[in-house]
Amino acid sequence: MTRTPLYGLLTAEAISLVGTRISMIALPWFVLTTTGSLTQTGLVAAVELAPLVLFKVLGGPFVDRLGARRIAVWCDAGSALTVAAIPTLHLAGRLDLPLLLVLVGLAGALRGPGDGAKSAMVPGVASVAAVPLERVTGLHGAIERTASMAGAALAGVLVGVLGAVGALFVDAASFAVCAAVVLATTGALRPTVDASAAAEGPSASGVSAYDPSSAGASSGRAATYVRQLREGWQFLRRDPVLVALSAMVATTNLLDIAWTSVLMPAWGQQSGSGAVGIGTLLAGMSAASVLSALLAARYAARLPRYRTYLVGFLVAGLPRFVVLALGAPLWVCLLVFAASGFASGFLNPILGAVVFERIPPHLTGRVSSLNSALCWSLMPLGGVLGGLLASGLGLEAALWVVGGAYLAASLSPLLFRSFRGFDTRPAPAVRPADAAPVGGAAPAAVG
């Protein structure tokens, strides 16, 4: 048993998440200050998000075929070069909008499978460290929330001191460090190989089972890839628990984006609380979620998943919309937001454990990537939804509509029996880390 891969993966995720939060502030600010166009700023954001979701799906078979560790390192290294190219070309006077869109799209395309690969490593590091999945996903949730707060604060400082260009260089460096940490600390993980894929196509070592001189080699590999992608989709759609989970989280993510991107800024402006008020509420919510995520990492394995999940969403959802719609004082809103954040911290550990427990080891990359992409699939529409509701109905009515929709989504576990499968813990799958003592055959070196 060794916990080095666990600590390494969590460290890499912390660095990656801080870098992502820096990018979320620095990149739009860079576009806005260099072009002066809100339209182009929104276009750049859309061009980054769409490939991220698409390639998270398409990258799943490669994660299973080549190994999550290898894909994570390759994608983070590529992201470092891609993000660094943006400020470098700008300083050289050679960055125009079409080239910026290409680079941003490439960055999103690399981040999708890179994030999916790091997520697919969770069951392996939990097995090597001999700790429950809930503890690993709980620690990840705490790190995610802490890094989100720290990254946003750091981004503001970096943009203010170094400018958007300097902040983008720091973002690029974070990807490089993340790749180095994963490479240095996760060597004890052995790759899971899909036996059928190894017989029909490229193996985990990257060597093709087809004769390269054969005219049908390329078409055969393509057919194998399509078959693997289809296998992942077929497994996901036939598991009622994963289908129900994906649909519910996709809906709540849509509503959360409408809330964060439109309704909260509109509330800050109309209430007079401004950006300080918005920051205060979100900081309070995030701080409470960090605390609960740490508690979940310690105790979530003992909690009834279904009831905890149901109560968590009910508390985390509707109340924050209600206090804003009623025009409650800021201190009341802060208490409610803190309670919502505390409840939300228990959700991701449960979701992560349910997902990983239900997926066979050789399908982890494909199915977890598909599940994540489905959960993200409606997010690009969230800002549009919030804008249409706020402009058409007014802020108060929009808050009630979105809050009501959130309540309906939160109650869906009561209506669909699939969610009761949360409390069914399948027998632990034998993963590569269990198959041989730590220190056995390690993955091939990443080139």
- Domain CATH code at residue 94: 1.20.1250.20
pLDDT in tens, 197-215: 444 444 333 333 334 444 4
pLDDT at 368 over 60: yes
- Is residue 83 in a domain? yes
Q: How many CB atoms lie within 10 A of CB 38?
A: 11
Give the per-residue pLDDT at 335.
Answer: 94
Give the per-residue pLDDT at 192.
Answer: 52
Same domain, 293 and 184: no
- Is residue 200 in a domain? no
Give the per-residue pLDDT at 244.
Answer: 83
Same domain, 152 and 261: no
Same domain, 247 and 154: no
Q: pLDDT higher for 335 or 16?
A: 335
Give the per-residue pLDDT at 401.
Answer: 94
Give the rounded percent of residues in the chain with a pLDDT score beyond 90. 13
Cβ contact 354:240 at 8 Å: no
- Is residue 438 in a domain? no
Tokens, residue 262: 């439109």
Lowest mean pLDDT among 31-35, 100-104, 153-157, 385-389: 153-157
Closest CA to 49 of 28, 75, 80, 74: 28
Region 11-34: mean pLDDT is 77
Region 254-267: mean pLDDT is 78
- Is residue 408 in a domain? yes
Closest CA to 309 of 357, 244, 371: 244
Cβ contact 120:63 at 8 Å: yes
Give the rounded percent of residues in the chain with a pLDDT score beyond 70. 77
- Is residue 26 in a domain? yes
pLDDT at 50 over 80: no
Same domain, 286 and 164: no
Confidence at 66, pLDDT banded by 50, 70, 90: confident
Give the per-residue pLDDT at 349.
Answer: 74
pLDDT at 112 over 90: no
- Is residue 115 in a domain? yes
What is the C-alpha separation between 359 and 232, in angstroms, rounded? 10
**Radius of gyration over every alpha carbon of the chain, rounded to an integer in angstroms:** 22
236-240, 285-289, 341-345, range with greatest mean pLDDT: 341-345
Same domain, 353 and 240: yes
Same domain, 171 and 237: no
Same domain, 102 and 2: yes
Same domain, 189 and 264: no
Same domain, 64 and 178: yes
Give the per-residue pLDDT at 322.
Answer: 94
Tokens, residue 242: 């994963």
Cβ contact 91:152 at 8 Å: no
Cβ contact 21:151 at 8 Å: yes
Domain end, chosen from 174, 193, 212, is at: 193
- Is residue 188 in a domain? yes
What is the C-alpha separation between 81 and 361, in angstroms, rounded? 32
Cβ contact 59:369 at 8 Å: yes
pLDDT in tens, 140-169: 767 777 776 677 667 667 777 888 788 889
Same domain, 160 and 253: no
Region 94-100: mean pLDDT is 86
Tokens, residue 37: 């166009």
Cβ contact 205:444 at 8 Å: yes
Region 118-143: mean pLDDT is 76
What is the C-alpha separation between 142 and 147, in angstroms, rounded? 8
- Is residue 203 in a domain? no
Same domain, 409 and 322: yes
pLDDT in tens, 380-411: 777 678 777 887 888 899 999 999 999 999 88
Total domain count, the chain = 2
Give the per-residue pLDDT at 210.
Answer: 37
Task: Return mean pLDDT, the chain.
Answer: 76
Same domain, 228 and 132: no
Give the per-residue pLDDT at 437.
Answer: 30
Residue 182 belongs to domain spanning: 1-193
